Amino acid sequence: MLKYTTGLILLLLLASCSSLHEITTLPTDQYHITAKQYQAITGRVYTGRTKKARVNLKLEADSLKFQPLNEPPPPTSFQLEEIKDLRFHRHTFDVDVFTIPFKIRLAMNGFPTQLNPNFSGTVYLGRRHDYYRIQAIPKHSDRPFKITGVGYGYGGILGIGAVTMNPFVTQNYITYEYDGFVLTGGAAGIYDAKKFNLGLAMGTDLLLDKNRKHWLYQGKPWLGILFGINLN
Protein backbone atom coordinates (compact mmCIF):
# COMPACT_ATOMS: atom_id res chain seq x y z
CA MET A 1 0.00 0.00 0.00
CA LEU A 2 2.82 2.38 0.87
CA LYS A 3 4.53 2.02 -2.50
CA TYR A 4 1.33 2.92 -4.35
CA THR A 5 0.79 5.97 -2.17
CA THR A 6 4.40 7.06 -2.69
CA GLY A 7 4.04 6.62 -6.45
CA LEU A 8 0.92 8.78 -6.49
CA ILE A 9 2.65 11.54 -4.54
CA LEU A 10 5.59 11.47 -6.97
CA LEU A 11 3.21 11.76 -9.91
CA LEU A 12 1.50 14.77 -8.37
CA LEU A 13 4.88 16.42 -7.73
CA LEU A 14 5.90 15.84 -11.33
CA ALA A 15 2.59 17.30 -12.48
CA SER A 16 3.48 20.55 -10.73
CA CYS A 17 6.41 21.14 -13.14
CA SER A 18 5.66 23.88 -15.66
CA SER A 19 7.05 21.76 -18.51
CA LEU A 20 4.20 19.30 -18.01
CA HIS A 21 1.72 22.15 -17.96
CA GLU A 22 2.98 23.74 -21.18
CA ILE A 23 0.57 23.56 -24.12
CA THR A 24 0.64 24.66 -27.76
CA THR A 25 -3.06 25.29 -28.35
CA LEU A 26 -5.71 27.31 -26.56
CA PRO A 27 -9.44 26.57 -26.96
CA THR A 28 -11.26 29.50 -28.54
CA ASP A 29 -13.81 30.32 -25.86
CA GLN A 30 -15.01 32.80 -23.26
CA TYR A 31 -12.65 33.36 -20.33
CA HIS A 32 -12.50 35.46 -17.16
CA ILE A 33 -9.70 37.88 -16.25
CA THR A 34 -9.15 40.25 -13.33
CA ALA A 35 -10.04 43.94 -13.48
CA LYS A 36 -6.35 44.83 -13.15
CA GLN A 37 -5.33 42.81 -16.19
CA TYR A 38 -8.31 44.08 -18.13
CA GLN A 39 -7.14 47.63 -17.58
CA ALA A 40 -3.52 46.77 -18.46
CA ILE A 41 -4.59 45.28 -21.81
CA THR A 42 -7.35 47.67 -22.90
CA GLY A 43 -6.23 50.89 -21.20
CA ARG A 44 -9.74 51.26 -19.74
CA VAL A 45 -10.90 50.89 -16.13
CA TYR A 46 -13.17 47.90 -15.73
CA THR A 47 -16.61 48.98 -14.49
CA GLY A 48 -18.60 45.81 -15.03
CA ARG A 49 -21.12 44.45 -12.53
CA THR A 50 -19.30 41.13 -12.12
CA LYS A 51 -16.04 40.81 -10.20
CA LYS A 52 -14.13 39.64 -13.28
CA ALA A 53 -14.34 40.62 -16.93
CA ARG A 54 -15.53 38.16 -19.56
CA VAL A 55 -13.52 38.08 -22.77
CA ASN A 56 -13.24 36.06 -25.96
CA LEU A 57 -9.74 34.73 -26.61
CA LYS A 58 -8.52 33.23 -29.88
CA LEU A 59 -4.96 32.04 -30.40
CA GLU A 60 -3.51 32.53 -33.87
CA ALA A 61 -0.07 31.80 -35.35
CA ASP A 62 1.83 34.62 -33.67
CA SER A 63 -0.76 36.59 -31.72
CA LEU A 64 -3.75 36.42 -29.43
CA LYS A 65 -7.05 38.08 -30.28
CA PHE A 66 -8.67 39.67 -27.24
CA GLN A 67 -12.28 40.83 -27.26
CA PRO A 68 -14.10 42.17 -24.15
CA LEU A 69 -17.74 41.05 -23.88
CA ASN A 70 -19.42 42.84 -20.99
CA GLU A 71 -18.00 46.38 -21.10
CA PRO A 72 -19.08 49.51 -22.97
CA PRO A 73 -18.10 50.85 -25.49
CA PRO A 74 -18.81 48.03 -27.94
CA PRO A 75 -16.28 45.17 -27.85
CA THR A 76 -13.02 45.82 -29.65
CA SER A 77 -10.45 43.30 -30.86
CA PHE A 78 -6.83 43.73 -29.80
CA GLN A 79 -3.75 42.13 -31.36
CA LEU A 80 -1.31 41.17 -28.62
CA GLU A 81 2.05 40.73 -30.35
CA GLU A 82 4.08 40.80 -27.14
CA ILE A 83 2.50 39.44 -24.00
CA LYS A 84 4.34 39.96 -20.72
CA ASP A 85 2.08 38.05 -18.39
CA LEU A 86 -1.61 37.27 -18.83
CA ARG A 87 -3.64 34.98 -16.55
CA PHE A 88 -7.20 33.87 -17.25
CA HIS A 89 -9.56 31.00 -16.55
CA ARG A 90 -12.81 29.42 -17.65
CA HIS A 91 -15.50 27.14 -16.23
CA THR A 92 -16.96 24.40 -18.45
CA PHE A 93 -18.84 21.12 -18.44
CA ASP A 94 -16.44 18.24 -19.06
CA VAL A 95 -16.84 14.77 -20.56
CA ASP A 96 -13.77 12.55 -20.38
CA VAL A 97 -12.67 8.90 -20.40
CA PHE A 98 -10.60 7.39 -17.58
CA THR A 99 -9.25 4.02 -16.54
CA ILE A 100 -9.14 2.84 -12.92
CA PRO A 101 -5.95 0.75 -12.59
CA PHE A 102 -6.86 -0.47 -9.10
CA LYS A 103 -9.51 -0.20 -6.40
CA ILE A 104 -9.20 -0.35 -2.63
CA ARG A 105 -12.04 -2.35 -1.06
CA LEU A 106 -12.68 -2.07 2.66
CA ALA A 107 -12.51 -5.01 5.06
CA MET A 108 -15.60 -7.22 4.82
CA ASN A 109 -16.75 -10.42 6.60
CA GLY A 110 -13.30 -11.32 7.87
CA PHE A 111 -11.51 -10.27 4.69
CA PRO A 112 -8.81 -7.59 5.20
CA THR A 113 -8.75 -4.43 3.09
CA GLN A 114 -8.22 -5.47 -0.54
CA LEU A 115 -6.19 -3.86 -3.32
CA ASN A 116 -7.78 -5.14 -6.54
CA PRO A 117 -5.92 -4.50 -9.83
CA ASN A 118 -8.86 -5.47 -12.05
CA PHE A 119 -9.48 -3.25 -15.07
CA SER A 120 -12.25 -0.64 -15.14
CA GLY A 121 -13.05 1.95 -17.79
CA THR A 122 -15.29 4.92 -16.98
CA VAL A 123 -16.81 8.00 -18.52
CA TYR A 124 -16.47 11.15 -16.39
CA LEU A 125 -19.04 13.96 -16.49
CA GLY A 126 -18.65 17.03 -14.32
CA ARG A 127 -17.78 20.65 -13.70
CA ARG A 128 -14.33 21.79 -14.78
CA HIS A 129 -12.13 24.80 -13.97
CA ASP A 130 -9.17 25.56 -16.27
CA TYR A 131 -6.48 28.12 -15.44
CA TYR A 132 -4.07 29.44 -18.07
CA ARG A 133 -1.06 31.73 -18.18
CA ILE A 134 0.62 33.35 -21.20
CA GLN A 135 4.14 34.71 -20.79
CA ALA A 136 6.53 36.46 -23.16
CA ILE A 137 9.69 34.55 -24.04
CA PRO A 138 12.94 35.71 -25.74
CA LYS A 139 12.57 36.91 -29.33
CA HIS A 140 15.02 34.33 -30.67
CA SER A 141 12.52 31.61 -29.77
CA ASP A 142 10.23 30.02 -32.36
CA ARG A 143 7.17 31.50 -30.61
CA PRO A 144 6.76 34.95 -29.02
CA PHE A 145 5.03 33.49 -25.95
CA LYS A 146 4.44 30.26 -24.07
CA ILE A 147 1.19 28.99 -22.63
CA THR A 148 0.83 26.89 -19.51
CA GLY A 149 -2.35 25.52 -18.05
CA VAL A 150 -3.83 23.35 -15.35
CA GLY A 151 -7.34 22.12 -14.68
CA TYR A 152 -9.45 20.84 -11.80
CA GLY A 153 -12.85 19.22 -11.82
CA TYR A 154 -15.45 17.28 -9.89
CA GLY A 155 -18.34 15.14 -11.03
CA GLY A 156 -19.63 11.62 -11.53
CA ILE A 157 -18.31 8.49 -13.24
CA LEU A 158 -20.05 5.57 -14.91
CA GLY A 159 -18.43 2.60 -16.58
CA ILE A 160 -17.76 -1.13 -16.71
CA GLY A 161 -15.09 -3.35 -15.23
CA ALA A 162 -14.07 -6.84 -14.25
CA VAL A 163 -13.75 -8.58 -10.89
CA THR A 164 -12.36 -11.94 -9.89
CA MET A 165 -15.11 -14.28 -8.69
CA ASN A 166 -14.17 -17.34 -6.63
CA PRO A 167 -15.39 -19.31 -3.59
CA PHE A 168 -13.77 -16.87 -1.14
CA VAL A 169 -15.68 -13.75 -2.28
CA THR A 170 -18.99 -15.65 -2.44
CA GLN A 171 -18.60 -17.43 0.92
CA ASN A 172 -18.26 -20.77 -0.90
CA TYR A 173 -21.47 -20.35 -2.89
CA ILE A 174 -19.51 -21.19 -6.06
CA THR A 175 -16.71 -23.74 -6.42
CA TYR A 176 -14.98 -22.24 -9.48
CA GLU A 177 -13.21 -19.02 -10.47
CA TYR A 178 -13.99 -16.60 -13.30
CA ASP A 179 -13.89 -12.89 -14.21
CA GLY A 180 -17.27 -11.24 -13.75
CA PHE A 181 -18.54 -8.05 -15.39
CA VAL A 182 -19.52 -5.17 -13.12
CA LEU A 183 -21.23 -1.83 -13.62
CA THR A 184 -19.19 0.91 -11.92
CA GLY A 185 -20.53 4.24 -10.67
CA GLY A 186 -19.52 6.95 -8.25
CA ALA A 187 -18.11 10.44 -7.71
CA ALA A 188 -14.66 11.77 -8.58
CA GLY A 189 -12.33 14.74 -8.40
CA ILE A 190 -9.75 15.22 -11.18
CA TYR A 191 -6.48 17.07 -11.69
CA ASP A 192 -5.48 17.86 -15.29
CA ALA A 193 -1.80 18.63 -15.95
CA LYS A 194 -2.61 19.02 -19.69
CA LYS A 195 -0.39 16.06 -20.60
CA PHE A 196 -2.35 13.58 -18.49
CA ASN A 197 -5.21 13.46 -15.99
CA LEU A 198 -5.24 12.07 -12.48
CA GLY A 199 -8.21 11.67 -10.20
CA LEU A 200 -9.52 10.21 -6.98
CA ALA A 201 -12.83 8.37 -7.06
CA MET A 202 -15.23 6.75 -4.64
CA GLY A 203 -17.91 4.44 -5.93
CA THR A 204 -19.61 1.06 -5.93
CA ASP A 205 -19.68 -1.98 -8.23
CA LEU A 206 -22.72 -4.01 -9.23
CA LEU A 207 -22.05 -7.54 -10.50
CA LEU A 208 -24.18 -8.24 -13.57
CA ASP A 209 -24.50 -12.03 -13.47
CA LYS A 210 -26.48 -14.58 -11.44
CA ASN A 211 -23.99 -14.61 -8.54
CA ARG A 212 -24.52 -10.94 -7.65
CA LYS A 213 -26.54 -11.74 -4.51
CA HIS A 214 -23.65 -13.74 -3.09
CA TRP A 215 -20.74 -11.43 -3.96
CA LEU A 216 -19.33 -9.87 -0.78
CA TYR A 217 -18.67 -6.49 -2.41
CA GLN A 218 -21.98 -6.06 -4.23
CA GLY A 219 -22.92 -2.39 -3.82
CA LYS A 220 -20.15 -1.82 -1.25
CA PRO A 221 -17.96 1.31 -1.46
CA TRP A 222 -14.42 1.37 -2.87
CA LEU A 223 -11.70 3.98 -3.38
CA GLY A 224 -9.75 4.22 -6.61
CA ILE A 225 -7.33 6.25 -8.71
CA LEU A 226 -8.41 7.57 -12.11
CA PHE A 227 -5.88 7.94 -14.92
CA GLY A 228 -6.19 9.32 -18.44
CA ILE A 229 -4.03 10.64 -21.26
CA ASN A 230 -4.80 13.88 -23.10
CA LEU A 231 -4.79 13.13 -26.81
CA ASN A 232 -5.83 16.60 -28.02
Distance (Å, whole) CA 226 – CA 200: 6
Confidence of residue 40 (pLDDT cuts 50, 70, 90): confident
Distance (Å, whole) CA 67 – CA 77: 5
pTM: 0.77
The total number of structural domains in the chain stands at 1
Residue 17 scores a pLDDT above 60: no
* Chain Cα centroid distance, residue 212: 32
Q: Domain limits at 109? A: 2-229
Cβ(180)–Cβ(165) under 8 Å? yes
pLDDT given at position 1: 46
Angle at 203 between CA 197 and CA 204, to 5 degrees: 140
Cβ(98)–Cβ(138) under 8 Å? no
The DSSP element (H or E) to which 123 belongs, if any, is: strand 120-136
The model's pLDDT over 154-175, given as tens digits with 9 standing for 90+, comes to: 999 999 999 999 999 999 999 9
